[in-house]
């Protein structure tokens, strides 16, 4: 197996648009060489009106240096380059002593290796080069007895220092850019680098008329691996996978294969494949899998460029193919989207436009007392503007997390939920708003921002119940955030309890006023195990001074069953469908609404519930 530490010696990556062009280094030194050679030839001709063998030695040396510069410097180890530059300075000394070259020739010859050291090497190598140049000048002065040799040497050193100073600022900027575009763990390009590089790759493929595909490789069950073996082992696995992919990259640009690699997620790598057919891509993926650590499997989504779409659209199709691959049992599948024919838009393609245009609105589903049918409040559910009320949006928020815009989408959803809701709560009740743990504990997302949104919507914190809808891992930070929000007047609900997203420890930390039993428990409430869990949650809620809200109630029988198990409140289509604000206001008129801050229940011990009629 490859050593994971091998990747840390790799050069950090900078995209083509911001990468310091190494051809420019060769161009600068080659131009200097050519100019120096011309000056020497002109000087010799003006002085002697002829060119003999001895006088042509500096010109020949400069020509050889120019030929050496034609070699790609990036393929020569930096240590070899430094030694060669120092040897060149020493060689100038020998030429000076043997052929008695003039001061201007010495300046031209010494400046070349000093410029290379200044542009390509660290301070130590540059200082060694300057020291050699000074020694050369002193020896030349003692042997040749030409005081202008010292002036020539100092001029060459001054030119090298100037080149160093002018290139230093650009080098520092390049290093900063390199860090910003490089994944710190694997030293691969990161997601930002991929977004900057992919358009250039598409343009080149269009010009060469070659095929191009983007493959997103996801490590199966990586979260479980981290939990079982620890994050240090997970980091080693990621670096091992990155090493395998690096060794798969082609070295000849004219050969088909993997041409670019980036780490785009926690356990996801994106690769650019050129000059390959569908069969060739499948074979390459199989070859990669054989080199992975034992027991490591991957799911792969591949999208072939249709030569018309943008880089973002191509990337979104590959992510959609990956999502389809991940639906297989245990992963380990490869799904290829060749881009042929029309296709329905996915959330990955729609979410960027939704966020950019702020096309989010809310629907409101009532929460009722199962005994009396009294309206307790509403849960605000986000929907894309114009989408049907029953639209499922779990995929929308999952796509936002994958695209890195989850905070923006969540903020839009919360602002939409608050807007106009004061009219729904004018006669009492509470507004339930979903909030992710990441946003809730984000230090950059200050409580004052949410309070400002509430003031703009004419709402008070005491009217809001925040639904925590993700698993909590950092309980200390979450407890601190809960304390701040409670002091401001907010209340809490644990959402989807029983769906694998919440734990007993989380309930103990949050101490929610409401515990929302997930639909999976409601559906299986006839079974002894689920019934026992629901009764247990009821007791936990009562001990905390709260209530159970049974979600997903679709029939009167569901309502009666949950009331019999002790749940006092309910939510679902049996009690009211999600509605836009105007329709919710119309449905509310004439209903008895619970006063603000109360649950509006006569007690869950009634044997037979009195339910409101199912909404028409």
Residues 220 and 86 in one domain: no
For residue 7, being part of any structural domain is answered with no
Q: State residue 105 phi and psi, 5-degree precision.
A: -65, -40
CATH (domain of 441): 3.20.20.450
Lowest mean pLDDT across 114-128, 191-205, 590-604? 590-604
Is the CB of residue 120 less than 8 Å from the CB of residue 25?
A: yes
* Listed residue (399, 217, 419) closest to 303, CA to CA: 217
**Domain final residue, candidates 180, 200, 230:** 180
Q: Looking at the structure, do residues 208 and 266 belong to the same domain, yes or no?
A: yes
Is 15 inside any structural domain? no
Regarding predicted confidence, which is higher, 8 or 246? Answer: 246
229/174 same-domain check: no
Residue 609 falls inside a structural domain: no
* Residues in a beta bridge with 274: 212, 257
CA distances from 434 to 201, 490, 496, 501 (A): 41, 13, 11, 14
Residue 28 belongs to what domain range? 22-180
Eight-class DSSP state of 581:
H
Percent of the chain topping pLDDT 90: 12
The per-residue pLDDT of the chain, averaged, comes to 76
Please check the confidence at residue 6 and state whether its pLDDT lies above 60: no
Asked whether residue 600 is domain-assigned, the answer is no
Give SS3 for 215: strand
Over residues 4-14, the mean pLDDT reads 41
Are 377 and 323 members of one domain? no
Residue 593 placed within a domain: no
Which residue would you say has higher pLDDT here, 37 or 548? 548
- Please tell me the total count of domains within the chain: 3
Q: Which of 314, 343, 372 is the last residue of a domain?
A: 343
Residues 384 and 532 in one domain: yes
Domain boundary at 114, 148, 180, which?
180
Q: Do 220 and 259 fall into the same domain?
A: yes
With the C-alpha atoms ordered 214, 220, 226, 227, is the resulting torsion angle positive or negative?
positive
Q: Judge if 376 and 336 occupy the same domain.
A: no
350 or 232: which leads in pLDDT: 232
Whether 380 and 337 share a structural domain: no
**CB 533, CB 498: distance < 8 Å:** yes
Q: Please list the helix, strand and coil fractions of the chain in percent, rounded to the nearest 5, in that order.
A: 55, 15, 30
> Do both 113 and 145 map to the same domain?
yes
- Same domain, yes or no: 172 and 222: no
Q: What is the pLDDT of residues 371-382, one digit of tens each?
A: 888 889 999 999
Same domain for 70 and 210, yes or no, is no
Considering the domain architecture, whether residues 406 and 323 belong to the same structural domain is answered as no
Q: Is residue 83 part of a domain?
A: yes
Q: Are strands 298-304 and 212-219 parallel, antiparallel or unpaired?
A: antiparallel
Is position 596 within any domain? no
Asked if pLDDT for residue 193 goes beyond 50, the answer is yes
**What's the whole-model pTM score?**
0.51
For residue range 108-144, list pLDDT tens digits in order: 667 767 777 776 676 788 888 888 888 888 887 788 7
| CATH number of the structural domain spanning residue 205 | 3.30.70.270
Q: Please name the residues in contact with 402: beta carbons below 8 A apart, sequence gap of 6 or more.
A: 265, 319, 348
Domain contains 603: no
Q: 151: closest CA among 177, 133, 132? A: 133
- Of residues 171 and 394, the one with the higher pLDDT is 394
Strand positions, DSSP E, 457-522? 464-468, 491-497, 514-517
Structure confidence by residue, pLDDT tens digits, 415-430: 999 998 989 898 888 9
């Amino acid at each position: 197996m490859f050593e994971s530490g091998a990747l840390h010696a790799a050069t950090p990556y900078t995209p083509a648009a911001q990468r310091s062009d190494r051809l420019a280094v060769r161009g600068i030194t080659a131009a200097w060489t050519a100019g120096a050679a011309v000056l020497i030839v002109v000087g010799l001709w003006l002085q002697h009106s002829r060119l003999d063998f001895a006088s042509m030695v500096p010109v020949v040396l400069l020509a050889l240096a120019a030929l050496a510069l034609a070699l790609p410097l990036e393929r020569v180890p930096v240590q070899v380059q430094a030694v060669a530059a120092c040897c060149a300075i020493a060689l100038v000394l020998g030429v000076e002593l043997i052929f008695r070259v003039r001061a201007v020739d010495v300046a031209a010859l010494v400046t070349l290796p000093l410029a290379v050291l200044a542009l390509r090497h660290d301070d130590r190598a540059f200082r060694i080069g300057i020291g050699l140049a000074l020694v050369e000048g002193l020896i030349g002065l003692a042997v040749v007895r030409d005081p202008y040799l010292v002036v020539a040497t100092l001029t060459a050193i001054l030119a090298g220092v100037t080149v160093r100073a002018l290139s230093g600022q650009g080098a520092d900027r390049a290093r900063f850019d390199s860090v910003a575009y490089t994944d710190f763990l694997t030293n691969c390009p990161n997601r930002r680098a991929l977004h900057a590089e992919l358009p250039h790759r598409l343009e080149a493929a269009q010009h060469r008329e070659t095929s191009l595909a983007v493959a997103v490789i996801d490590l199966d069950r990586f979260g479980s691996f981290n939990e079982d073996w620890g994050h240090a082992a997970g980091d080693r696995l990621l670096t091992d996978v990155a090493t395998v992919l690096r060794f798969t990259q082609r070295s000849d640009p004219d050969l088909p294969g993997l041409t670019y690699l980036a780490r785009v997620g926690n356990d996801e790598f994106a690769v650019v494949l050129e000059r390959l057919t569908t069969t060739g891509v499948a074979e390459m993926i199989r070859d990669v899998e054989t080199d992975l650590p034992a027991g490591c499997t991957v799911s792969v989504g591949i999208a072939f460029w249709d030569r018309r779409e943008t880089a973002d659209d191509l990337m979104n199709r590959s992510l959609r193919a990956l999502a389809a691959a991940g639906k297989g049992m245990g992963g380990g599948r490869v799904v290829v989207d060749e881009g042929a024919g029309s296709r329905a838009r996915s959330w990955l393609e729609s979410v960027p436009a939704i966020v950019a245009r702020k096309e989010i609105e809310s629907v409101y589903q009532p929460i009722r007392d199962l005994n009396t049918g009294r309206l307790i409040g509403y849960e605000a559910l986000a929907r894309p503007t114009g989408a049907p009320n029953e639209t499922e949006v779990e995929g929308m928020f999952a796509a936002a997390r994958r695209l890195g815009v989850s905070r923006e989408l969540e903020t839009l959803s919360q602002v939409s939920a608050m807007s106009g809701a004061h009219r729904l709560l004018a006669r009492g009740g509470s507004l339930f708003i979903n909030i992710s743990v990441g946003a809730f504990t984000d230090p950059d997302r200050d409580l004052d921002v949410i309070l400002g949104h509430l003031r703009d919507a004419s709402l008070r914190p005491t009217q809001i119940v925040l639904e925590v809808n993700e698993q909590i891992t950092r309980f200390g930070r979450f407890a601190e955030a809960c304390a701040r929000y409670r002091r401001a007047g907010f209340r809490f609900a644990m959402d989807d309890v029983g769906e694998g997203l919440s734990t007993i420890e989380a309930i103990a930390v949050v101490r929610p006023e409401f515990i929302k039993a997930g639909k999976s428990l409601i559906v299986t409430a006839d079974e002894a195990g689920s019934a026992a869990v629901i009764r247990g949650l009821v007791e936990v809620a009562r001990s905390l001074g709260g209530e159970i809200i049974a979600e997903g109630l679709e029939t009167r029988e569901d309502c009666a069953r949950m009331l019999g198990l002790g749940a006092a409140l309910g939510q679902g289509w049996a009690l009211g469908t999600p509605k836009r604000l105007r329709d919710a206001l119309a449905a509310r008129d004439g209903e008895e609404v619970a006063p603000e801050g109360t649950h509006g229940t006569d007690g869950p011990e009634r044997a037979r519930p009195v339910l409101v009629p199912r909404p028409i």
